[in-house]
Structure 1
Amino acid sequence: MRDDMDKVIVERPRRGGSWQGDGRAWRNSKEAGSHLGMKRGYHRTKWLNENLAPLKRWLHKQVHRPWDKVYAELCSGIDRRSTVQAHIFEHIDDFVERGAVMRDGQVWVSASWWGRGGRAPLEEASHVELFVHPLTGILLPNRRLREARAAQRTRHGTWAERRGDKPCAVYHVIDENTQWHRVDGCWFEVTLAKFPERVDAAKREEKRYDVLRRCMVTHGGAGRRPAPDMPTHASLYGRNDVYAANKRQLGRREVRARLGDDA
């Protein structure tokens, strides 16, 4: 852990307190209580504004390590005697599930983000990215996270579907090597590349990383489904001889200029 982790996380301007006004009318009304502080009714209170992204990245780099050692290193870098720095420890449970238990040979975690509603199997917890194994005490990633989130979208639908928005096209073909794909409500320009031709049939096929599917693919395995939530190449690109080599997120104006109401 870097020595200035506490400063990276904590030292940002606090939010709130920007509005001020004359609160005498409210303080003299019947809605106000009989015992008020000197600042009540005059301005908003401020709240903390931590930058928790470095803490999350650091925790993800500590996977496959004993949680006791990870927590000890975290305590050595952040002073719990400071009220502001001690507040960081309240956010650890937002990234790490520390209360996992074993039931019938399976790891069970909290069923919801706030720990309410009992427990559920790990593969059904769409909010758990990291967890501490209840038997070994090792910090591990949730390798079934994508499947759990895909199952949640299937059960509850996307935000656009819950709002009642009209369905839109999954992708648009721009040219032979360029397509526009809609992923979680955002449009990306995907550059396609063809798989290398096999010179020797006895050699193994070369693997290529597909940036849209986020996995390694081969020419022979392009049409296969590596995970339950992933579509096949034929349904994703309309062909099996290409893979996504690069992608770029498109701006709203750029999408509307080409697609119009279909965006």
Structure 2
Amino acid sequence: MGQLWDNVYAELSQLLEFNTLSGQHILVHVWDFVARDAVLIDDVPYTLKYSLRRLGTRWRDELYIHPETGILCLAKKLPKAKPKPRNDYLWVDRYHQYHKLNDIWYLVSFRDVPQPFVAVIDKVRKIYPTKVRDVLQQKTVTYSELFSTNRIPTYAYHKRQCNKKEIKWILQQLTTKH
């Protein structure tokens, strides 16, 4: 970085043989990491590859060739926005959470998802994957759907509306948590 791109490329050309398969492979990766088509908008670098996109937003597109000077530059990373704390759920334990749905607090109970090899066999002897009803998603879901959305393969099988005492405790926990 800080050097003319032509000099950097010339040095790469001396070290690598671009007419070989391995040299071509490395060159493809160089073009993956260096934006050759950068444009500056209000002194912020953008790439035109595929669509206009700000550089420095992904791990891959940090390097670019300055469009006016030809110098290899490092795009400044955008500071990551801190996620706002969620006040619509509270973990109790692995199998219980409090959830606020449509401004009403519920105690939601979870179960482990049945194993994928457990199947239901119908009258014609066809095998279907096990499906369960998730009360939070309000739909019937398969094992693979639940496993892809949860780190712990569980599903919400029951919910009960909370009483005033529970709501008071939940709100207390949420205020002390932040």
TM-score by length of 1: 0.29
Between structures 1 and 2, the one with greater strand share: 2
> Which protein is bigger by CA-based radius of gyration?
2
Between structures 1 and 2, the one with greater helix share: 1
Choose between structure 1 and 2 for higher RCO, CA contacts under 8 A separated by at least 6 residues: 2
TM-score by length of 2: 0.41
